[in-house]
Chain A
Amino acid sequence: MDFKPTYQPPGLPRKILGLVCKPDLLEEIEGDLWEHYQILCEERPQWKAKLGYWFHTFHFLRPFAIKGIGQHSNSIIMYKSYFKFAMRHMWRQKMHTGFNLIGLILAFVVCTFIFLHLRSELSYDNFHDHSEDIYRVAWMNENPQTRTPHPMAQAMATDFPEVQAAVSLSPIYGPGLTRQTIQITNEENNIALEEPDGFFADSTFFDVFSFEFLEGNAKTALKEPNGIVMAKSMANRYFPDESPIGKRLSFGPNTNMLEVVGVVEDVPENAHFHFNFIISYVTLKSFNFNDPWMSWADFGHFNYIKVQHGSDVAALDNKIPEWILTYLDWTGGSRESLLDRSIGFELQPIESIHLHSNIRWELESNSSFTYLLIYGISGLFILLISIINFVNLTTARSAERLKEVGVKKTLGAYKSQLLGQFVFESLLSAYLALAISFGLVYLLELPFNELVTGRVHAQDLWQAKTLLFLISVATVTGLLAAIYPALYLNALNPGQILKGMNPKKLGGSFIRNGLLGIQFIAAIIMISGSLIIKNQITFLKNKDLGFRQDNLVIVDLEDFENKSELVKAAFSQFSGVSDVAAVSNVPGGQFNQHKIYLESDQTNQVDASEMFIDDDAARVLGLELASGRFLNQEFAQDSSGLSFLINEEAAQAFGVEDPIGAVMFWVDNENLVKGTIVGVVKNFHFKSLHVPIQPLIMMISPRNFNYIITNVNAQNLTATIPQMQASFTEIYPEDQFDYRFLDTEISELYHEESRTLKLTSVLTAISIFLSIAGLIGIVSIAIKQRVKEIGIRKILGASIRQILWLVNLRYLIVSGIAMLVAIPVSYIFMNQWLENFTYQQGINPMLFVISALLLAALILATISLISIKAVKSSPADALRHE
């Protein structure tokens, strides 16, 4: 008849069917499915037909068709009955089941979140091809920084055979080295937006980093001047419906300067820097070829290298000092320090930057490995606590199943079958909890991310590694809980069980109390740890920084034109403004640094951060003098920037008794500025408390002013801010009025600490809750088993208080032992954490006393509450039942 070709059904389901189906049924089943698929293909689109084929194939995964088991096979019936037993058992003991499940669910949810968070934090920058071979060159002196000279990258690529590719890049900096947003305009479509995250980069950018090109050519993209490569999301903003390649964009005031040469995928979240657009360095060089910023002398660029796979990076690192001195004309002290390796360049693996690098000029604020460790350990503790709860409750309850085991054994159940039943039951609970916790993760995704400002995505649950992790956690939990009752009950002689055994003699309480102790240890560590974190953070927040922070409004001067005097004059007229000053940098921000040295001792060169201020700044910031005088605009020498204020730290570094009046040099790149020290200010924390106070030099230099600091009256802020905005816009009609408060800026510096505090508080609360829940479970079972004992004691004249003591004592001893173990552990671990801080609040022993008392009180209250009913009830009731 007709021999038209048949449609070939998808192969995978057929293979699966072939594997599991009974061989004598396989042919007819496959035949029917095949024939049905032909019909489906005639009637429906192919994907629907395929879906139908899958659907029907899976409908054959029924007992009748599967190898090895039939409808009435033993194993099916057995598992059915296990299931029935498990369900009945869970149902009968609603409270226990509830405790078990809630504990497990909580722990699984916490674990999932922490696991996902850790995974995302640990995955930074691993998306590049051979990311393990990419390094950033950092400059490690007394005050390490990420930035190194621009020519260094390409010189390394030329001079070292093991360097396969190198790129130099820099964010587009505005005045004061703040990251600047640039107005980019598509003149044709009349789209003008302020774009942040613009970078300059070498044409080799895409040789080092792997960003997928959607349009354009990675090899040539950044070779020509005025080329711009955009991230996809930015390209969509400017060219919503057309291909941007070859189109022109305006860069600030430069009309149609840029030509779009490439569009790349957006930078993934887990990158240590994100760009919106990249402009070739050659563009910049075509403007000003001899920009000193591009020279070897300026450590002002981010240099990345990619080495040949398998190169010895340590050896390469060690070659740099000698090599770089052929380019750098350094002499004297710094040359020697470089050669004896006391300062030098470090190759930072790109994957470790996010967690391990926290030096000056990081491209984005990085996270810290210590915090991940804290999260991880807290997560493990919670998991541990809830596994122990589960194990303890299951084993304690196994006493109630003694008869069941006895009857089953007499009826001929094998040991392995009983074991199977226990394992089946506890795995059932564990998986049930896991399934519910998956749902909760979806519900809690948003609150969790808000709480810890994280970027956890609930759908990452379905990644193979995450699933594998969670399922193994659940499996281990289930197995652990099953092992003890299974082995213990199995070992008993059925005759003895059925004759009647005192469940109290069952034993296992030693192990249970031991596990309870471990829970307490974890809980105490969590409580005291979070108290220590809280103390340290409060300490940081309350520490006197040496300058005023309250009621100071910072306004950005966006322009190179110096109109700071105009702005100051305008602002000072408002009634809500009490004082105004102009500065180059704001405390808590980034500071540029250069060398300073005294004329009298030219070998002692000190790296000093610099801050340009006007003569009002010291007053507005509330700085205090140690000796000498503040700067004064009236003096010609001061206003021309030849009078220096230094801080005590700098004075100490010079080692001079009285530096006032001393002649000092300030090495401003190519310029050597010779001036006089007129005053020493008391040390103040112009950087975050994570780092010690460093030498600082201050002088007047109006062209460097970037911010106006305004001391405002807190009461009429709502009136003052709009006034300020109005006059600002009058002076700078082109610019946007940006303002922020100094105290919020400063508290932002401790953002990571605040987040850790929040998270550890939540985790501690959960761990306390879980420990107490576990305690309730165990004690309520123990009380039930001791009802008769309590009754007899009461008859013999024991008072309620004595009985309560009796019940409590054991657990108080357990918690006492737990404290002895937990306190040293917590002390050692938290001391290590505190070492991250330059300024630390020591560990107050009272904290441990508080944690211990807190826990003891909780334990007492819990036990007393649940035992009070049994203790108060009439002994006659207790003794009547037999």
Chain B
Amino acid sequence: MKGTQLGEFEELVLLIVGVLYPDAYGLSIREEIINQTKRKVAIGAVHSALSRLQDKGFLESKLDEATHERGGRRKRLFAITVLGKRALEKNHELRNNLFNQIPELALKGLNLSGL
């Protein structure tokens, strides 16, 4: 079903949530994405992906304490669920699997023609 598919950007966000655990929230995730991938993304885009991931059950979240630099607003901390972990593993496995199936010749040929 469509609902359990993991989009490319969603996968990225999901991974970063894992990397940042236990301190993953909207802004920190965005920072990390920018640092790790050099991709410029809007905060809104990250939130949008987070909300989709939560709808699909890959993420769970809770509200943290309010802090001064956020103008007294609480942040929402995200963590990967069992479902999310499974989805990541599935994707990872699929990729590795597929990558391993590529005959060496194909990559070699690429290299040659690339030269």
Contacts and interface: CB of A to CB of B under 8 A. Distances in A.
A38 B73 CA distance: 14
A62 B75 contact: no
A59 interface: yes
B85 interface: no
A36 B27 CA distance: 7
Interface string B74-101: 1110000000000000000000000000
B48 A64 contact: yes
Interface residues of A, number: 26
B51 interface: yes
Given A36-B43, A56-B42, A59-B44, A29 B26 contact: yes
Q: Is the interface of A mostly helix, strand, loop or mixed?
A: helix
A1 B25 CA distance: 21
A27 B67 CA distance: 12
Contacts of B74: 27-28, 31
Contact of B44 (A1, A27, A56, A71): A56
B75 A32 contact: yes
A42 to B, nearest CB: 11
B70 A59 contact: no
- Which size bracket describes the interface of B in this complex? 20 to 34
A25 interface: yes
B52 A35 contact: no
B27 A32 contact: yes
B69 A38 contact: yes
B30 to A, nearest CB: 8
Interface in A32-72: 32-36, 38, 55-56, 58-62, 64-65, 71
B51 A31 contact: no
Given A28-B26, A28-B75, A28-B76, A35 B70 contact: yes
B52 A64 contact: yes
Given A25-B51, A32-B26, A32-B27, A60 B71 contact: no
A33 B43 contact: yes
Interface in B51-78: 51-52, 63, 68-71, 73-76
B75 A60 contact: no
B45 interface: yes
Nearest to B41: A59
A359 to B, nearest CB: 64
A93 interface: no
Interface in A57-94: 58-62, 64-65, 71
Contacts of A289: none
Given A28-B25, A56-B42, A34 B47 contact: no
Contact of B73 (A28, A56, A59, A62): A28
A324 B48 CA distance: 80
A502 to B, nearest CB: 44
Contacts of A32: 25-27, 43, 47, 70, 75
Interface string B32-54: 00000000001111011001100
B71 A31 contact: yes
A473 B52 CA distance: 41
A56 B44 CA distance: 6
A3 B68 CA distance: 8
Contacts of A735: none
B73 A60 contact: no
B75 A31 contact: yes
Contacts of B45: 59
B87 to A, nearest CB: 19
Contacts of A269: none
B43 A64 contact: no
Contacts of A36: 27, 43
A31 B74 CA distance: 7
A212 interface: no
A56 B43 CA distance: 6
A17 B45 CA distance: 15
A564 to B, nearest CB: 79
- Interface centre among A29, A31, A59, A60, by most chain B C-beta atoms within 10 angstroms, is A31
A6 B71 contact: yes
Nearest to A60: B44
B47 A60 contact: yes
Contacts of B51: 25, 64-65
Contacts of A38: 69
Given A32-B27, A32-B47, A65-B48, A27 B42 contact: no
B25 to A, nearest CB: 7
A27 B72 CA distance: 10
Given A62-B48, A64-B47, A71-B52, A34 B42 contact: no
A1 B69 CA distance: 11
Interface in A302-345: none
A47 B27 CA distance: 21
Contacts of B26: 28-29, 32
Nearest to A14: B71
Contact of A34 (B44, B52, B73, B76): B73
A59 B48 CA distance: 10
Given A27-B73, A35-B69, A60 B25 contact: no
Contacts of A3: 68
Contacts of A65: 44, 47-48, 51
A460 interface: no
A30 interface: yes
A483 B52 CA distance: 40
A691 B34 CA distance: 78
A29 B73 CA distance: 9
A62 B68 CA distance: 27
Nearest to B42: A59
A69 to B, nearest CB: 13
A55 B40 CA distance: 13
A9 B45 CA distance: 20
B42 A30 contact: no
A38 B47 CA distance: 19
Contacts of A6: 68-69, 71
A787 B27 CA distance: 66
A32 B74 CA distance: 9
Given A6-B71, A28-B76, A30-B73, A35 B47 contact: no
A458 to B, nearest CB: 33
A108 to B, nearest CB: 34
Contacts of B75: 28, 31-32
Nearest to A3: B68
Contacts of A61: 44
A36 B43 CA distance: 9
A62 B43 CA distance: 12
A432 B87 CA distance: 44
A864 B74 CA distance: 75
Contacts of B43: 29, 32-33, 36, 56, 59-60
A30 B66 CA distance: 12
B13 to A, nearest CB: 13
Contacts of A71: 52
A33 B44 CA distance: 9
A29 to B, nearest CB: 6
A35 B42 CA distance: 14
Interface string A705-726: 0000000000000000000000
Contact of B71 (A1, A34, A56, A62): A34
User: Which 5 residue pairs of A and B lie closest in terms of their CB atoms, listed nearest first?
Assistant: A59-B44, A31-B73, A59-B42, A31-B70, A34-B71
Interface of A: 1, 3, 6, 9, 25, 27-36, 38, 55-56, 58-62, 64-65, 71
Given A31-B75, A34-B69, A61-B44, 5 more contacts: A6-B69, A9-B71, A32-B26, A56-B43, A64-B48
30 contacts: A1-B68, A3-B68, A9-B71, A27-B74, A28-B25, A28-B26, A28-B47, A28-B74, A29-B26, A31-B71, A31-B73, A31-B74, A32-B25, A32-B43, A32-B75, A34-B69, A36-B27, A56-B42, A56-B43, A56-B44, A59-B42, A59-B43, A59-B44, A59-B45, A60-B43, A60-B44, A62-B48, A64-B51, A64-B52, A65-B47
